[in-house]
């Protein structure tokens, strides 16, 4: 289904897109970042905080660190209360994701991962490759929401197309 090269590509894409969105969001005031814009988590800040939380949770499940402070999806919007904290932690976590991807043992993709899901209240077991794909898909999903909120707020985030990522082949 996926490979180590896919994981490394998506880790680099994640970092590129976070730099893109955080750069645009940093042009807004804190009040503008926290304004309820009708997205699932309400604001740009809350959505980015949830995404930081989700990435920490999944990295922890993958055995690569990233312990989250908050214990639930509902509380995930408070993972990073202040903008500078969110920016700093996002940068650190993106570097951690890049390192995890670079050292990933592709043979692990043949196995399953079992974890306790607070969302469904029980243990769940799924193929690791599917879960890694979900990890990156979840990032893209919420960054799309942030991109829409930024655009509605008058910002112009950069390109989001994977084939046009700097240093992409072709």
pLDDT band at residue 170 using 50, 70 and 90 as cut-offs: very low
Neighbours of 29 (CB within 10 A): 9
Burial grade of 140 (CB within 10 A; 0-12, 13-18, 19 or more): middle
Among residues 144, 156, 164, 136, which one has the least CA distance to residue 14? 136
Q: What is the pLDDT of residues 22-74, one digit of tens each?
A: 999 999 999 999 999 999 999 999 999 999 999 999 999 999 987 888 888 88
Segments making up each domain of the chain, as ranges: 4-156
Instruction: Please tell me what DSSP assigns to residue 78.
Output: G
Lowest mean pLDDT among 5-9, 44-48, 137-141, 164-168: 164-168
CATH fit for domain 4-156, picks 1.20.120.450, 1.10.3720.10, 3.40.50.10480, 3.40.50.720: 1.20.120.450
Q: What pLDDT score was predicted for residue 67?
A: 84
Provide CB contacts within 8 A for 68, sequence distance 6+: 53, 56, 57, 60, 76, 79
Q: 33 with 42: CB under 8 angstroms?
A: no
């Amino acid at each position: 289904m996926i490979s180590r090269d896919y994981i490394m590509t998506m880790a680099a894409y994640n970092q590129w897109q976070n730099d893109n969105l955080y750069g645009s969001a940093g042009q807004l005031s804190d009040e503008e970042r926290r304004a309820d814009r009708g997205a699932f988590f309400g604001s740009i800040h809350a959505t980015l905080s949830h995404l930081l939380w989700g990435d920490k949770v999944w990295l922890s499940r993958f055995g690569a660190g990233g312990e989250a402070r908050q214990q639930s999806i509902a509380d995930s919007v408070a993972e990073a209360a202040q903008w500078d904290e969110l920016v700093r932690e996002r940068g650190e976590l993106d570097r951690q994701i890049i390192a995890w991807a670079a050292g990933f043992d592709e043979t692990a993709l043949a196995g399953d991962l079992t974890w306790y899901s607070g969302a469904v209240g029980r243990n769940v077991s799924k193929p690791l490759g599917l879960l890694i794909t979900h990890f990156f898909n979840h990032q893209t999903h919420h960054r799309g929401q942030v991109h829409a909120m930024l655009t509605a707020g008058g910002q112009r985030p950069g390109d989001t197309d994977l084939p046009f990522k700097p240093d992409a082949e072709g």
